[in-house]
Amino acid sequence: MDSDRQHCDTSNEYVHLQNPHLKSMTSDFLYHFNLGTATHDLPAMFGDVKFVVVGGSATRMGKFARYIHQELGLPESEEPQDLADTDRYGMFKAGPVLSVSHGMGMPSMSIMLNELLKLLYHARCSNVVMFRMGTSGGLGLEPGTVVISKAAVDSCFRPRYTQIVLGQEISRPAELDQGLVDELLHVAAQEEGLTAVAGNTMCANGFYEEQGRLDGAFCDYTEQDKLQYLQKGRDAGVRNIEMESLCFAALCRNAGVKAGVVCVTLVDRLRGDQVTTPHDTLKEWELRPQKLLAKFIRSRLGMK
Amino acid sequence: MDSDRQHCDTSNEYVHLQNPHLKSMTSDFLYHFNLGTATHDLPAMFGDVKFVVVGGSATRMGKFARYIHQELGLPESEEPQDLADTDRYGMFKAGPVLSVSHGMGMPSMSIMLNELLKLLYHARCSNVVMFRMGTSGGLGLEPGTVVISKAAVDSCFRPRYTQIVLGQEISRPAELDQGLVDELLHVAAQEEGLTAVAGNTMCANGFYEEQGRLDGAFCDYTEQDKLQYLQKGRDAGVRNIEMESLCFAALCRNAGVKAGVVCVTLVDRLRGDQVTTPHDTLKEWELRPQKLLAKFIRSRLGMK
């Protein structure tokens, strides 16, 4: 890593990596993407990236990239291809928009995000905005509603991402950029048939017990215990529950990158656990965060 | 769920689900597999399963199923297909062997395992043995060595899987079946060119900071701090580090299912962080747990 890139650590425009060890590495191999500084010209491949959108599955992120490619009117010859030569994550580029999958859960997000932030750093990207989009369970919302996260919170409703590093707990703040929240709400208000609300997003380390579901393999609490817990979350400002936002919000913030989280709700957890909505309706709902972010990106690029 | 299947909760042979709520559900939809009791005849599809092998990527688990299919001499017409109609996980069946992907990290494992244990329960499977196979970082071992886990331990080297349920910490033991460890060591000893050791497996919630790596996007400790931590792990019996075993060991144990963990080490973390071994060598190493488990299954089925 060149010492002349020390500006990356001090300017607001660039990705701030907080790791002095990187400077002494002669090359950096991003193992889970199978991309590296010794084997790839990362500035040439990724230097023009201004928007990064991450989501769970590689298939969906490939589709999103092709949708953005169309929305931005990019040439057919530049149809997005998977740039990560691995079966861990998918990575697709449509002009200034990078679309990357992160799998399910914070550890999977954490691996991807560490390597993605290093990639943006090595590629000397500047003024990047990052989004996570996905699906979630809602709290007291009509299913199909889109939640724009004000903060990601843990299972005790605190906006802190806690990691165990060398056997010690460390904790990082997970509030999200409020300017972006307002901008997303503004764009959403112009989208016909879309209901969007701002609220806190609870991030859990599981789908069943950790989200108070009654229908997992294990459950030793009552429906009343569950509802009390979820209502406590709702009272603390939680509007939806998913499994990645806390890590995403905290690590982006730690790298000085503005970040937003946009998830559609598939079920109202105050009314049930299982997702029973017909497949076609779910598919339409899943597209809502995609449409919102496409509109946001077009708006930022001065397209109507 | 039929009440005549209450024997599942009391017999050692069946999967023990510990959730009284399941009994009152008229049907159960396993959302992340897109399989359900109302839409699929699970006993007919899966009732003969005796071995379940889980691993990270869907591609690899598909290849493993085809390899087992060959090893067991099954008919060409029964070539394993992906039975989970979703892009979340892959699920393939080769005779009595079910091969399922779990993604990366414990939350992703937890979702899959909750639904897999329910699937085995609904399908009335009996006498099932489960394995996780994968890759890992070693501690003081020649890379390429296979570690057979005696217990999964957390980042403080305790054999406990800690979950936050309704805002409260609960903790479940994560020791593994010692009979299986011995049986796996015995099978491994017969495999030429394979070095296998038994030891504890540390399970972390990240790949970089959480495993004491110096090459992530963030790092605020020294190489000496890192080595002290890893040496402390080695002294506590840890021989390798990965990201799923703790959840796997604890939930299988909680369901009364015998479970084993078999991972190959790709790097000696006491000597470095980055995986720099040539691709072809890594590919050969990755096959080692597969070969060991194929041999184990053949041996259990009375094949030589």
Interface list for B 188-227 with A (CB within 8 A): 204-210, 212, 214-221, 223, 225-226
Q: What Rg do the C-alpha atoms of chain A give, in angstroms?
A: 19
Q: A208: which chain B residues are within 8 Å (Cβ-Cβ)? A: 110-111, 114
Interface list for B 86-105 with A (CB within 8 A): 87-88, 103-105
pLDDT at res. B151: 98
How many CB atoms are closer than 10 A to CB B15?
25
Q: Is B213 annotated as a binding residue?
A: yes
pLDDT at res. A13: 83
**Which DSSP symbol is given to A56?**
S
pLDDT at res. B12: 53
Which residues neighbour A8 within 8 Å (Cβ) at sequence distance 6 or greater? A14, A15, A16, A17, A121, A124
Q: How far is CA A29 from CA A35, A103, A150, in A?
A: 6, 20, 34
Which residues neighbour A142 within 8 Å (Cβ) at sequence distance 6 or greater? A195, A268
For residue B237, give the 3-state DSSP assignment. Answer: coil
For residue B59, give the 3-state DSSP assignment. Answer: helix
- Do the beta carbons of residue B125 and residue B150 sit within 8 Å? no
**Contact between chains at B210 and A163 (C-beta distance less than 8 A):** yes
- Tokens describing residue B110: 């937890």
Residues of chain A with pLDDT under 70: 1-12
Chain B interface, best mutation among A89, A156, A215, A253, by max B CB count within 10 A: A215
For residue B228, count CB atoms less than 10 angstroms from its CB and return exposed for 0-12, middle for 13-18, buried for 19 or more.
middle
Burial A52-71 (b: 16+ CB within 10 A, else e): bbbbbbbebbbbbbebbbeb
pTM: 0.94
Q: B257: which chain A residues are within 8 Å (Cβ-Cβ)? A: none
Pairing outcome for strands B29-30 and B35-36: antiparallel
Q: A217: which chain B residues are within 8 Å (Cβ-Cβ)? A: 17-19, 113-115, 117-118, 121, 251, 255
Query: Binding-site residues of A for phosphate, please?
Result: 88, 132-135
Angle of helix A106-122 versus helix A245-254 axis, rounded to 10: 30
CA B83 – CA B145 distance, rounded (Å): 33
Which residues neighbour A25 within 8 Å (Cβ) at sequence distance 6 or greater? A1, B215
Tell me the pLDDT of chain B (304 aa) as tens digits: 343 333 333 345 889 898 999 999 999 999 999 999 999 999 999 999 999 999 999 999 999 999 999 999 999 999 999 999 888 999 999 999 999 999 999 999 999 999 999 999 999 999 999 999 999 999 999 999 999 999 999 999 999 999 999 999 999 999 999 999 999 999 999 999 999 999 999 999 999 999 999 999 999 999 999 999 999 999 999 999 999 999 999 999 999 999 999 999 999 999 999 888 888 999 999 999 999 999 999 999 999 7
**Contact between chains at B217 and A110 (C-beta distance less than 8 A):** no
Which residue among B59, B167, B206 sits closest to A87, beta carbon to beta carbon?
Answer: B59
The one-letter amino acid code at A220 reads: D
How many CB atoms are closer than 10 A to CB B2?
8
Q: Where are the beta strands (DSSP E) in B43-145?
A: 51-55, 91-94, 97-101, 129-138
Q: Is B91 annotated as a binding residue?
A: no
- Do the beta carbons of residue B297 and residue B97 sit within 8 Å? yes
Q: A203: which chain B residues are within 8 Å (Cβ-Cβ)? A: none
Nearest CA to A251 among B205, B108, B203?
B205
